[in-house]
Amino acid sequence: MLFNSIGYIFFLPITILLFYLIPFRWRWALLLAASYFFYLLWRVEFVLVLMTATLVSYFTALKMGEIRKKKQRLKYLLLTLVINLGMLIFFKYLIFFTGTVNHLAGIMGSGIRLPYYNILVPVGISFYTFQTIGYAIDVYRGMIKPERSFGHYALFVSFFPLVLAGPIERGRRLLPQFHIDHSFDPQLFSSGLRLILWGMFKKIVIADRLSVFVNAIMSEPDYFHGIQIGIAIIMKMMMVYADFSGYTDIAIGSARLLGFKLSPNFNRPFSARSISEFWSRWHITLTSWLRDYVYFSLPNKFRGKISNRLLQLNLVITFVLVGFWHGPYWSYIAFGFLNGLFMVFANVSRPLMTNFNRITRLESSPRLLETLNISVTFLLVCFTGFFFGPHSLNASFMMIGKFADLSHSGSGILELLKFNDFILGILLVIFMLWFEYLVSVKSFAGKFLSKPIIIRYAAYLLMLFFILLFGVFSNQKFFYFQF
């Protein structure tokens, strides 16, 4: 079931109504049944994978909770990692490894050929696998006690607002909320409705409309060049942001309607002044997960220059995993590798840039310096967009080559104007970034809520009108469902 579907319009209110009508002791069972029904509608077989991940991580965590010595708990942690990561690799990455082995065998002249298997990837597997593994590691480290109630833990893994595409929650944040009797909170409920409305606007009006323009160019890049490719890449990154942050807003808003608070996943990433800051604002729950469970777990206990170089290497390794997490393509690996290199370069060149800012007196003009940093970061992020997608590396380099051809820039712009959604898409992107700036920086939300009820509801109806008038109602999946 998609958030942007007719089915969800009926599913969510019915679930909310029943949730507040039944006694507290049965609410977890209602939410668990609703979550499995929500997930079951995708494909019955996918539920078996979800249940396996839940059972394995639940029972191994219980075993770890019974053992005092950390070393003795390790075997149960390894069991969880092997099974859950094994399922992720089997369903999502088997064809990638098979293709890589066969390609290398062909280069070496070997007659070995591994068979290809067309395996369906269970939706959301990358998200709930990381969620269960994070929980198991926290129990292993002694940061939390294992959840004794299997029903509450199963709900933690399958909770319908987040099971398909996050946020990737931590057990210590979400599990305690299932044990609290949530009475109806009008303020939290209304904020949830506003988030859902804004998320739907970003998905249906902005992301799906941009996809018409972006897909037309990305599907046939041979027919475009120069500024056309450059603008398409920028709009692609905006499309992905509107799509995924729109999903997150709907997920967080849906949870708020039930009294639950999920972790934020975006914080105006295109206002970042560095690649490092960008990743602290983009897909926050994924990058913080990899920071806590991968980056800090890699070897780093050396001194002097060796330690510094190792930390930089660990940074690159972590971001390669960020890219590989997105999909079994070399383009995604290159995407992560590039981001890692940009961050390493920023770390290494920091003293040089500080001197440069002092010599050029940019440091005395903080607003100009901030604008330059935001602009450079934005361009670097957009450049990585050439590699962000389920395509080959050759296709990425071909698009870069096409982008470098600026010989027909004037006619290229005129051709872009022929797309019906081009100008409207740009205006919608500007509106989205401006509106989120007002909400985050100018405290627009507080000022808006202080307005008379007639003005507030008129604004809600206006946004709903825009969704109905300019929305693309093709029931398109959210971009991150493929991960």
Could you state, in order of their start, the residue ranges of all structural domains in the chain?
Answer: 6-183, 188-482
- pLDDT value at position 209? 86
- pLDDT value at position 356? 81
Asked which of 86-100, 213-227, 241-255 is least confident by mean pLDDT, the reply is: 213-227
Asked which of 281-285, 409-413, 473-477 is least confident by mean pLDDT, the reply is: 409-413
Residue 10 pLDDT level (bands cut at 50, 70, 90)? very high
What digits encode the pLDDT tens for the residues 447-467? 777 878 888 888 888 888 888
- pLDDT value at position 470? 78
- The candidate with the shortest Cα–Cα distance to 62, out of 128, 142, 145, 131, is 145
Q: 155 burial class (0-12, 13-18, 19+ CB within 10 angstroms)?
A: buried
- The candidate with the shortest Cα–Cα distance to 119, out of 93, 101, 100, is 93
Average pLDDT of the residues in 83-112: 83
How many other C-beta atoms lie within 10 A of the C-beta of residue 109? Answer: 6
- pLDDT value at position 415? 67
CA 287, 252, 264, 476 torsion-angle sign: positive
What's the chain's length in residues?
483
Instruction: Name, in order, each residue with C-beta under 8 angstroms of 401's C-beta and a sequence gap of 6 or more.
Output: none
- pLDDT value at position 29? 95
What is the SS3 assignment for 70? helix
Q: What residue spans of 66-179 are helical by DSSP H?
A: 70-88, 94-107, 125-140, 150-158, 171-174
- pLDDT value at position 439? 85
CA distance 386 to 338: 11
- pLDDT value at position 419? 67
Angle 107-388-373 (CA atoms, 0-180°, nearest 5)? 125
What digits encode the pLDDT tens for the residues 348-384? 888 888 888 888 888 788 889 889 999 999 999 999 9
Query: What tokens appear for 13 in the block?
Result: 């209110």
| pLDDT reading at 476 higher than 80 | no
Among 225, 326, 391, 408, the one annotated catalytic: 326
| pLDDT reading at 444 higher than 80 | no
Higher per-residue pLDDT: 411 or 287: 287
| pLDDT reading at 39 higher than 90 | yes
Q: At 475, give phi and psi (nearest 5°).
A: 55, 40
CA distance 89 to 85: 6
Q: 241 burial class (0-12, 13-18, 19+ CB within 10 angstroms)?
A: buried
- The candidate with the shortest Cα–Cα distance to 178, out of 278, 262, 54, 72, is 262
- pLDDT value at position 53? 96
Query: What tokens appear for 108 in the block?
Result: 């070496």
- pLDDT value at position 271? 93
Q: Decide: 215 and 425 in contact? Cβ < 8 Å.
A: no
Q: At 75, give phi and psi (nearest 5°).
A: -65, -35
CA distance 261 to 23: 21
Q: b/e for 143-153, b at 16 or more Cβ within 10 A? A: ebebbeeeebb
What's the gap between Cα 278 and its chain centre?
13
What digits encode the pLDDT tens for the residues 147-196? 999 999 999 999 999 999 879 999 999 999 999 998 899 899 999 999 99
408 among known catalytic residues = no
Higher per-residue pLDDT: 20 or 415: 20
Average pLDDT of the residues in 53-81: 93
Query: What tokens appear for 249 in the block?
Result: 């807003």
Distance between start and end Cα atoms, the chain:
16
Mean pLDDT estimate for the chain: 87
Highest mean pLDDT among 48-57, 349-358, 426-435: 48-57
CA 36, 321, 283, 142 torsion-angle sign: positive
CA distance 245 to 242: 5
- The candidate with the shortest Cα–Cα distance to 457, out of 470, 444, 448, 468, is 448
- pLDDT value at position 306? 60
Higher per-residue pLDDT: 468 or 21: 21
Higher per-residue pLDDT: 373 or 95: 373
Asked which of 55-64, 106-115, 238-247 is least confident by mean pLDDT, the reply is: 106-115
Average pLDDT of the residues in 467-483: 68
Average pLDDT of the residues in 430-456: 84
Residue 267 pLDDT level (bands cut at 50, 70, 90)? very high
- pLDDT value at position 412? 61
Query: What tokens appear for 140 in the block?
Result: 């292993």
Asked which of 289-293, 300-304, 417-421, 466-470 is least confident by mean pLDDT, the reply is: 300-304
- pLDDT value at position 483? 52
Higher per-residue pLDDT: 387 or 449: 387
